[in-house]
Structure 1
């Protein structure tokens, strides 16, 4: 086991260039032949970093596991040690080779869930099982120092596989949450500031007010990539159901299926970090790069509970 401090900052202070640095550091270690990588990370933005590394580190030969703690190690109820043990066990012995996030599966200390990096979100401010898989299930769990696979399909560990590193992210991307009465000048502001992408967090199946239409049309006409994810979190957008959604599609808005907004934002940043061409960026955005899209909507009751317990 070898350790390295890459950053010593609160996770809310991480920026896109820091994701790039972290991806490059992980790639360096993998190219040295490690059995796996564990990244200790603050929980506030750990989901964003998990998504970023999922897009930046492709064709992984070994697992890359992010881990954090909701309660500090000086507290009797701390989850730090159990989470870290589970993460190390998964990184060193699990049969998959993907980016995962390791945290308590339930409020008790019995098991650590390993979530897919593009399908996990922090859902509670303080609970130890705050991270839940969204529109999917965990890839594995660690219980009694044993790794048990939950996913039926996954990229298998293969030390001979050659890592593909694509670590660049565009910082000129904005997340705009729609709400009743939203001033479309917010969209105009980002366009005028030279932003290359806007992720709209729309309502329901993928809607925003008709009063935003002119601003959205102006944005896409100027080559800004405008994508939409639902603020509902669970489920998927379907912009063909109502005429509002169909209008947005006609304006060039890209629906993000069952990606929730945080992953959608990170992927838009990553896509625009690979190319300046809006059409090429949209093609990347629509491709299933790291399991961020699932082919069908899974049963809601199971997903909301965070998967199998």
Structure 2
């Protein structure tokens, strides 16, 4: 959202200071008194777990200093990773934490930055949310934005303005004509102090399962000292038997392996086919209806708190920040 095109080369560069971002949408002054703070200034593909913690600390500082809500301007590529991380790290939120970005740079006629930022500030200043969320265009037109739960959202198109979609549940709400309308149950703002639980284990690997995949990648990860592995399995959460030796070794070494699905919609079920039951016998943890990137971030957070296998399993299967649900919708929205 804080970028512009260098027309001589056609490249997009981060360019606006926080103050310039504010001046980009003067209507913001009618909504709220803004204070701008720079936590970091990097393209989102360069985000790290350390920067997630830094952002969380800045968010907590702002809310504990009396801010009614916080808007985090973020690049769209890895916004869902950051929204997941903040969802697990921030405790007892006293106001909304709203991530917002733009698919088109803010100096282009087709930019979505204006409506996205205006809608994000509307949610932060006028709603009673006590969750981390993502606010982005809900259609290709400049008519409304959707409010997505931070642990349920994914960027599903490289360039469309309505690229962000809530997966396995509908959006939390929408912003239209300056009004916030909530569409499903949500956590409301609390009272007291916001706390940051930023203990993360960054040595977690997210790996996509492919036909004929050998065990060497997983074995190498174990030898390199990775503390947890998340697999994007096929279908209901399957992996070829060529991976079984590595999975058995991971279980022997106490390295948790979490299974998600490449299908995104629906849920992992390792009880249907024999392959799934074999994976369960090797200690693989089914991620239910969690998105792969959410399971990846959550496993970092869980391993930052415990390495005990049963505790890891228990926490991964416990709904901590709206990332799990007992049932998934039968079809995508």
What's the TM-score bracket when you normalise by the shorter of the two chains? over 0.9
In the TM superposition, what are the counterparts of 1:1-309 in structure 2 within 5 Å?
1-151=34-184, 153-158=185-190, 160-302=191-333
Once the 2 structures are TM-superposed, how far is the Cα of residue 51 of structure 1 from its aligned partner? 0.5
Quote the Cα distance in structure 2 between the aligned partners of 1:154 and 1:30: 19
Once the 2 structures are TM-superposed, how far is the Cα of residue 33 of structure 1 from its aligned partner? 1.6
Quote the Cα distance in structure 2 between the aligned partners of 1:283 and 1:24: 27
**8 Å contact kept, 2:168–2:332:** no
Q: Note the residue ranges of structure 2 that are not aligned, 5 or more in a row.
A: 1-33
Once the 2 structures are TM-superposed, how far is the Cα of residue 273 of structure 1 from its aligned partner? 1.5
Deviations 1:93-142 (A, max 9, x none): 11221000010011111001010000000000000000000001111111
Quote the Cα distance in structure 2 between the aligned partners of 1:231 and 1:237: 10
Deviations 1:134-163 (A, max 9, x none): 001111111000000111x211123x2443
Once the 2 structures are TM-superposed, how far is the Cα of residue 276 of structure 1 from its aligned partner? 3.2
Deviations 1:174-219 (A, max 9, x none): 0111000111110001101111100011000010001111110101
Quote the Cα distance in structure 2 between the aligned partners of 1:107 and 1:274: 42
Q: Note the residue ranges of structure 1 that are not aligned, 5 or more in a row.
A: 303-309
Quote the Cα distance in structure 1 between the aligned partners of 2:332 and 2:170: 12
Q: CA RMSD in A?
A: 1.1
State the number of aligned residues. 300
Quote the Cα distance in structure 2 between the aligned partners of 1:190 and 1:301: 34
Deviations 1:225-249 (A, max 9, x none): 1100001111001100001000100
Residue 198 of structure 1: SS of its match in structure 2? strand
**8 Å contact kept, 2:152–2:167:** yes
Once the 2 structures are TM-superposed, how far is the Cα of residue 74 of structure 1 from its aligned partner? 1.2
TM-score norm. by structure 2 comes to: 0.88
TM-score norm. by structure 1 comes to: 0.95
